[in-house]
Amino acid sequence: MFLSQKYLQMVTFMGIICYASLAASENTQNERSVAEAQLMHDKGKTIEEISRQRWLQGLLGSVHNPGRREVPLIKNFRHDLLRSNEEEQQRINSIRNMRNLQYKHAHNKKLMERYP
């Protein structure tokens, strides 16, 4: 009876170990399959993106690109933009000055009415 009880304990222990190892390996296979699915999804997106880029390059191949002649236009545009910003600042400053003068005039008028 002593041997059979020890044998039963050993078989139970081995069964638990086998069950735990099988459960652990099952999770690894599931995780691997999810990772593989993600990899395939990313690969599909990459292939689709490359094909879209090739399609766009084919469409844009016939479009004229001026290249270096575009640079002076950008410089002129920036110069015009800076000039318009300066003009806008001058306009804003003149409006502020006018409001300040109107406020001072109204304030002086009130003072004159109070203290004649």
Alpha carbons 60 and 68: distance in angstroms, whole number: 18
| 74 has pLDDT over 80 | no
Alpha carbons 53 and 5: distance in angstroms, whole number: 72
Out of 32-36, 76-80, 88-92, pick the least confident.
76-80
pTM of the model: 0.30
Query: How many percent of the chain have pLDDT more than 70?
Result: 72
Query: pLDDT grade, residue 113 (50/70/90)?
Result: confident
> What mean pLDDT do residues 3-27 have?
83
